[in-house]
A and B are shown apart, each in its own frame.
Chain A
Amino acid sequence: MANGNPGVNQALDHLHDMLVARHKQLNDSLNTITDPALAQAVVTEMGEVLHRIDGVQRQLFKAGSQMITDKVAAVDAANADLVRSLQTIGNITQLVKTVSDFLTLVDAAIDLAKTL
């Protein structure tokens, strides 16, 4: 998780990396999606992930705390599921649900970071 940058909150930096990676993964899925409705759903979800990237960016340099580390650990677990799900995006409902579940955990971590 650590990147060797002592000025960054390591847990939030990891969360930022995760969000950037999922955003890129969603973008890469457009390489093969030909269904315009499904592509639109991907773009919409990308916008939601991007909004959280901005949110984490604003908190990225706050001091670390165990509570934040715990929240990000919960996101970590969901992230593994999301990576697998995004490898085979089948339908819009499944896509929206999977990304939304992931982002609910991300929002909890961002909300906690705002209180530090």
Chain B
Amino acid sequence: MHIDFRARPVTKGRVSALIIAALLFVAGCTTVPPAQVTSFAQGVNTVKLQLDTTFASINQFASADEIDRAATLPVLNEADVAPVLERNDIAKWDKAFGSMDTYAANLNLLLSPDRANDFGTAAEGLGTALSKLDPKALPSAGVAAGFVELGRLLIEAKAETDAVEAARKADPGVQQVFSAMADVIGETSDKGLRGTVQEHWINRMAVQRQAFLVAKPDARRPIVAAFVALRDQRDTQDLQLGSLRQSLLDLAAAHAALARGSQADLATAIGRIQQELDATRALDEHFKSLKPKS
């Protein structure tokens, strides 16, 4: 059917109104494709994988230094060979990521029309649980404070029926959690976990410097080569940690994009996270190929 808008201005106005009404209806019903929430949830899981890979790598190499020191002591105590990241500390990261995973699952409830009503109950339950988390069960006091804030915001958002709106309300808490997690890793090579790890490498390089002093001239070249290899390993591992820190910040950016309903920004942030994981795995392989001391 052909409609001549120029000949029938009243009809043209009605059609425009119908189009606007339809757009408003669509916008009110759903403002987030399910894939966006799923993307964010996958991002959380990807960063957790990256974290597990990086932490395992750190513990493996740092333990060797503690063994060297313990071998010089008069008695052997468990405290002298404790890993840099103890089992209960790694469990704190598991707890934090598990809580964030549950939050993402709750957002998914809003995307299922028949289960949207469940969100209010789930949000209030999770919000209350997060508010009551033992700060000692989380990686840092900053992360704990972030979860308390997220819990408070989720309880506020329990009446929401739209995933973007719920994410927007919860976003300040999510930002606080991921920012505090990034702080634990260390902003520079001298701070936080990055600072601790770097000093391990400096210590190993110092051993080579001492060995150089006592070596005969023709035995010095292998020592210099070992020194250079340690320097490369130091830089590789710092890259790994820097990459993990960046992924945590990217996860915060991904959630902010979700809260804005920006599919492009979310896809960019999740893409960066996947690249960081790939880089971490490649660095891990490179690191192992450099034959760290056993």
Contacts and interface: CB of A to CB of B under 8 A. Distances in A.
Interface string B63-77: 001101100100000
B164 to A, nearest CB: 28
Contacts of A34: 213
Contacts of B66: 51, 54
A27 B206 contact: yes
Contact of A7 (B65, B69, B86, B140): B140
B143 interface: yes
B224 interface: no
B183 A43 contact: no
Contacts of A53: 195-196, 199
A53 B69 CA distance: 14
A73 interface: no
Interface string A44-55: 101110110110
A54 B196 contact: yes
Given A7-B180, A50-B203, A53-B196, A58 B84 contact: yes
Interface string B138-178: 01111101000000000000000000000000000000000
Interface in A1-33: 3, 5-9, 16-17, 20, 23-24, 26-27, 30, 33
A57 B196 contact: yes
Contacts, number: 103
A39 interface: yes
23 contacts: A3-B191, A6-B145, A7-B142, A7-B180, A7-B184, A8-B140, A8-B142, A16-B195, A17-B190, A20-B199, A27-B205, A33-B213, A34-B213, A36-B213, A39-B213, A47-B203, A50-B69, A50-B199, A54-B66, A54-B82, A54-B196, A57-B193, A60-B140
Given A20-B196, A57-B196, 7 more contacts: A6-B142, A7-B140, A8-B183, A16-B195, A30-B210, A47-B69, A50-B200
Interface of A: 3, 5-9, 16-17, 20, 23-24, 26-27, 30, 33-34, 36, 39-40, 42-44, 46-48, 50-51, 53-54, 57-58, 60-63
Interface of B: 62, 65-66, 68-69, 72, 80, 82, 84, 86, 89, 135-136, 139-143, 145, 180, 183-184, 187, 190-193, 195-196, 199-200, 202-203, 205-207, 209-210, 213-214
